Structure 1
Amino acid sequence: MSEAPDWLPLLRSCTERFSDVVRCAELDARVPTCPGWSLGDLAVHLGGVHQWAAHAVLEGNPHLRPEPPAETGRQGLTTWYR
């Protein structure tokens, strides 16, 4: 049986790249592939998904409700997302 591929390096790379976008772009910019969503909305959604997945894997509990960012400004959102 072969081992599962190690996806963590790719996930880290994609997370860092998206975090750079959040840090540099306008948070109210529209996301063409997510009608009605802004970049800030997408960052909160993806960050919540990452929190949920990490908690489900590390704690064995898929029932976590992700904590929203305390600050929704650029710096607060970037820090929370990472």
Structure 2
Amino acid sequence: MQLRLASFDSRGKLVCSRSTGYQLLTLEKDQEYVVMNLDSRLLSFPLYVCCNFLYTSPHSDHRPDSSEPESAAHAAS
């Protein structure tokens, strides 16, 4: 995931810009994670926030440590 934040003045000039860069997160159900701490003295509203997520969810009947995909790949080669 990546989070980008920008704040502009009344003339459209960029006042503040922050980015987390890409991060790999593994979260459990209802788990919270602080992605970015902001200094309210540097920000003005409105804030423009852009979030990029790639969400994957393991199937309940398939474990990530299973060798099933590797076995299929070896059999095909």
TM over 0.5: no
Higher helix share: 1
Q: Which has the larger radius of gyration?
A: 2
